Amino acid sequence: MSEEIVATIKGQIESNPILLYMKGSPQAPQCGFSAQTVQCLIACGQRFAYVDILSHPEIRATLPTYANWPTFPQLYVDGELIGGCDIVTEMFEAGELEPLIKEAADAVEEG
Amino acid sequence: MSGNTSMTQRIEDKLASGIALDHLEVINESGGHNVPADSQTHFKVVLVSDEFVDKRLLARHRQVNELLAAELAQGVHALAIHTYTPHEWRERFGAAPLSPPCQGVREKNPED
């Protein structure tokens, strides 16, 4: 793992309370799993940051090892990995995602 | 791929040897994606186990990912994971969610 890329990833995760690493963009997802994850996040009604890993092959190559998570998308909230599409969807359907996202977004506004 | 063992079989064997399972489904979903016919790239696994009791989803998925690390490194491109305790599985009436439809372009190097 390149230290420079790890530093970039750490910086992204630390400075964005709601961050999605995905294939494509929220407007044009390039993968069904990324698209479904974006839909869950949009339904939570808060702004979120994203990184398109198709445009950043160096991040795509490094993040799975750094995060110990082999696939994309990956959702981070307050610096912690929440999971991929299946976990995000399950939490959304259980009503657990929206309060988590809202709390992270509110903390930013107050901050 | 090792010999004539299909990837589906490999995944089943790895999961069954690593987790005490009440129920296991391994489904090759590659057909719905923009990959050559007969691909073994996109899979969905459904696992029901007592071992998942009091374990967060992240930890359950990590356990599955770790058991399948070699397969993920050798051609399995997408892995949908659905994990349930026996109680959760009964509450779902024994049905896992559908995977989302593919929206992908064909990638030159999909092995990530």
Question: Does residue B24 belong to any structural domain of this protein?
Answer: yes
In sequence order, what are the residues at sequence separation of 6 or more whose Cβ sits closer than 8 angstroms to the Cβ of residue B99? A32, A33, B29, B32, B42, B44, B80
- Give the count of domains, chain B: 1
pTM, rounded to two decimals: 0.90
Look over chain A and give the mean of its residue pLDDT values, rounded to a whole number. Answer: 96
For residue B12, give the nearest of B47, B40, B53, B61 by alpha carbon.
B47
**CB pair distance less than 8 Å for A71 and B65:** yes
pLDDT at A105: 95
> The domain that contains B71 carries what CATH number?
3.30.300.90
Note the pLDDT tens digit of each residue in B11-70: 999 999 999 999 999 999 998 777 787 889 999 999 999 999 999 999 999 999 999 999
Check CB contact under 8 Å for B57 and A64: no
Residue B108 domain-assigned (yes or no): no
CA distance B79 to chain A (A): 8
Residue B33 lies in a domain: yes
Closest-CA distance of chain A to residue B19, Å: 19
Closest to B68 (Cα-Cα) out of B29, B18, B4: B18
Q: Do B103 and A72 touch (CB under 8 A)?
A: no
Q: Which residues 23-82 on chain B approach chain A with CB closer than 8 angstroms?
A: 57-58, 61-62, 65, 69, 72, 78-82
A29 close contact with B: CB closer than 8 A = yes
Preferred mutation among A86, A92, A96 to probe B, highest tally of B CBs within 10 A = A86
Nearest in space to B60 (alpha carbons), one of B38, B73, B75, B45: B45
Both tokens of A15, joined, read 């400075």
Of B62, B81, B103, the CB nearest to A29: B103
Identify the domain containing residue B67 by its residue range.
7-93
Nearest CA in chain B to A23: B104
B86 part of a folded domain:
yes
Architecture of domain A3-101: 3-Layer(aba) Sandwich (3.40)
- Per-residue pLDDT band for B105 (boundaries 50, 70, 90) equals low
- Mean pLDDT of all residues in A93-111: 92
